[in-house]
Amino acid sequence: MIVAIDGPAGSGKSTIAGQLAARLGFEKLDTGAMYRAVALAALERAADLDDEDIIDELARTVRIEVARRAGERARVLLDGADVTDAIRTPAIDACVSKVSAYPGVRQAMLDVQRRAAEGHDIVAEGRDIGTVVFPAAEVKVFLTADPAERARRRVAQRHEADAVAPSDDELAQELQRTLDAIERRDQLDSSREVAPLVPADDAVHIDSTAASIDEVVARIADLIQERR
C-alpha cells in the first residue's frame, strides 16, 4: 500500500510521515531528501546550478540510496556517504528548488523513488507524490500550514540538538530569512512547468497550522483504515 503526503516546506510532512509509518508498520520514503542529495552533490562539486545539462548529468550519475535499519530512522546515502544531516542546511534550502525543477533531475529521481518503494508498504512524502510519482496511491493527502508557522518549525528543527541555544536576535533574523526562503520556494515549486506543487484531484486537504502532530497522524490513519 502507498500513502502519498504532499505539501510545501515546513508543513510537517516529514515528521508526520515518520510517525505514521511507525504507527502502521510502514516504511517512510522521503523523496525530498533525494533532491536535496543532488543539490548537495552539486555544491560539493562547485557545479553551476544554472547549467541544466550539468545538473541533469549529475543526477543521473550519482548514487542515492535510502539505508534502513530496524529501530532507526532511514539514512540518506550519497555515493555511499551518509548525508542525512548534511542535506538539512540553509545552503541546501536555498538551492534545492532550482535543482529539483529540472526535468532531467526529476526523471532521474523518479526512477530512484519508485525502486525504493518496490515490495514495501510506504508512506511517501514530497511535492508531487500523489500527482506524478505514485498517481495510483491508495491514500493521498495535501498537507498545508501557515508560512510563518512553517518557518518557525524549520528553525526549531535546525536547533533542536544545539548545546547552546542562539540568542533571541539571532533566532529572529534566522526566522525572517527562513520565512523569506519558504515563500520563495512556494512560488518556485507551485509555478514550475514540470511536476508543480499542486494537490492531486483526489487528495484530502489537511491544514496542520493549529493541529498537533498526533491529531494529524490520527486523521490520516483513519483515512488509511477506511481504504484498506
Are residues 59 and 159 located together in one domain of the fold?
A: no
Distance CA 2, CA 71 (A): 21
Are residues 210 and 177 located together in one domain of the fold?
A: yes
Q: Distance from CA of residue 218 to its chain's centroid?
A: 21
Are residues 112 and 2 located together in one domain of the fold?
A: no
Q: What is the pLDDT of residues 25-71, one digit of tens each?
A: 998 888 888 999 999 999 999 999 999 999 999 999 999 987 766 55
Distance CA 181, CA 218 (A): 30
pTM of the predicted protein model:
0.80
Are residues 223 and 139 located together in one domain of the fold?
A: yes
pLDDT score recorded for residue 227: 86
Distance CA 186, CA 24 (A): 30
Q: What is the pLDDT of residues 176-189, one digit of tens each?
A: 999 998 998 888 88
- For residue 31, the one-letter residue type is T
pLDDT score recorded for residue 81: 95
Distance CA 148, CA 48 (A): 31
Q: Distance from CA of residue 62 to its chain's centroid?
A: 19
User: By three-state DSSP, how is residue 159 classified?
Assistant: helix
Q: What is the pLDDT of residues 117-153, one digit of tens each?
A: 888 899 999 888 999 999 999 999 999 999 999 999 8
Looking at residue 34, which CATH number applies to its domain?
Answer: 3.40.50.300
Which residues have a Cβ under 8 Å from the Cβ of 156 and sit 6 or more positions away? none
Which residues have a Cβ under 8 Å from the Cβ of 222 and sit 6 or more positions away? none
Structural domain tally of the chain? 2
The torsion region of residue 2 among left (phi > 0), alpha (psi -120 to 50) and beta comes to beta
CA angle, corner 145, sides to 43 and 92, nearest 5? 5
Distance CA 204, CA 42 (A): 35
CA-based end-to-end distance of the chain: 9
Are residues 130 and 226 located together in one domain of the fold?
A: yes
Are residues 100 and 191 located together in one domain of the fold?
A: no
Residue with cell 541544466: 52
Q: What is the pLDDT of residues 64-106, one digit of tens each?
A: 987 766 556 678 899 999 999 999 888 998 899 899 889 999 9
Are residues 174 and 111 located together in one domain of the fold?
A: no
pLDDT score recorded for residue 71: 54
